[in-house]
Amino acid sequence: MVAVFLMDAFYICIRKENNIPLESRIRIGIDEQLWSAAWLEALILPLKGQLPNVEIHSSAFDQLHPSLLRGDLDAVAHPLHLCPVVPPDGIAYSALLPREEPVSTLLIRPGAHQATALFQLKDNAKVYAPHPTFSAQLLDFRPDLELTPRIEHADAIVLGPFEAKYPSDPILQLISVPLNPREVCPPPGSGAIVFQTCADDLPMRRSLKPLHHPETSALTNVERKVLRILGGNLREPLGVFCERDRMGNYQVWVCHAPDSGQTLIRERLASSTVFELAERVAARIKPA
């Protein structure tokens, strides 16, 4: 039995101050179901230099945006791949933290492990995948695999980049197989953290500006724009990974399963600029 609690999201809440004095407390909230020491370390370190005196609080997911719009909170941070491509009314995406390469992970029970097989999975293994893009790609590589909606019935589960890096519970006696994002593309924007503020809260947006990472923004903008062109459905069986190589060129790997049962479309494009790059990628994979 595989017992893992998947972390789909985390949240940060910051008290409103036009000019934050050193003695002020900055309230940071994390979803009460997703608390972990690893998350705390990952979230606090980028903030220490810009927002002093951080305080950690747990927060309920369904209260974050209402509280933000009421003025009770000043900012919310969220995994980018779970955010709508168009912000909700009154909300702005104000800053992106740097992301590492968004590597997903396959966790396998020892009894289902076969070292010589693709993905090190035995024949006809049952797999739980939290996002349709992972399901589509795994079945394309291994048609013998069986998808299951129940984690407890799975021989293996897929953890997205956030879940793999910061698991909410210890994962014991499971075999970890990293999934190269160029081969198993993650959902667009995976691995990036976005700060959301009220659109008209210019002081808070200025406070967050030093945290913004332009390189992460350039890469995830390409990924997310492909999603927007295809309709913006966050559950679309679409994987996109964009990176910049040593020569400064942009490389994009993309896969898409337009319809159930249809062959997965895979493409790779290179460009010296991001100008119209997302449009070119979408044109390659968009159904006729």
Q: Residue 55: its pLDDT value, please?
A: 60
Tokens 């190269």 — which residue? 180
Is 204 in the same domain as 265? no
CATH of the domain at 229: 3.30.160.40
pLDDT digits (tens, 9 = 90+) for 55-79: 666 677 777 888 888 877 788 878 8
Whether residue 13 lies inside any domain: the answer is: no
Residue 66 host element (H or E) = helix 64-70
Whether residue 197 lies inside any domain: the answer is: yes
Provide φ and ψ at 177, rounded to 5°: -120, 110
CB 105 within 8 A of CB 162: no
Tokens 């390469």 — which residue? 101
Distance (Å, whole) CA 10 – CA 128: 21
CB 82 within 8 A of CB 202: no
Is 88 in the same domain as 143? no
CB 171 within 8 A of CB 107: yes
Q: Residue 2: its pLDDT value, please?
A: 33
Closest by Cα among 130, 56, 49 to 97: 49
Residue 104 host element (H or E) = strand 104-108
pLDDT band with cut points at 50, 70 and 90 for residue 37: low
CB 55 within 8 A of CB 26: yes
pTM of the model: 0.85
Q: Residue 9: its pLDDT value, please?
A: 39
pLDDT digits (tens, 9 = 90+) for 6-36: 333 333 444 444 444 444 555 655 666 555 6
Strands 91-96 and 193-198: antiparallel
Q: What is the mean pLDDT of residues 71-97?
A: 88
Is 234 in the same domain as 278? yes
With a cut of 60, say whether residue 41 has pLDDT above it.
yes
Is 255 in the same domain as 118? no
Whether residue 35 lies inside any domain: the answer is: yes
Is 87 in the same domain as 133? no
With a cut of 80, say whether residue 230 has pLDDT above it.
yes
Distance (Å, whole) CA 122 – CA 106: 13
Distance (Å, whole) CA 201 – CA 17: 10
Q: Residue 11: its pLDDT value, please?
A: 38
Q: Residue 13: its pLDDT value, please?
A: 44
Domain extent at residue 108: 104-179
CATH of the domain at 205: 3.40.190.10
Is 56 in the same domain as 118? no
Q: At what angle do helices 277-285 and 214-229 cross, to 10 degrees?
A: 40
Give, in order, the Cα–Cα distances in Å from 253 to each of 188, 198, 245, 257. Answer: 11, 33, 13, 14
Whether residue 21 lies inside any domain: the answer is: no
Is 166 in the same domain as 232? no
Distance (Å, whole) CA 84 – CA 188: 11
Specify the number of domains making up the chain: 3
Tell me the pLDDT of the chain averaged across its residues: 83
CATH of the domain at 121: 3.40.190
b/e sequence 164-178, b meaning 16+ C-beta within 10 Å: bbbbbeebeebeebe
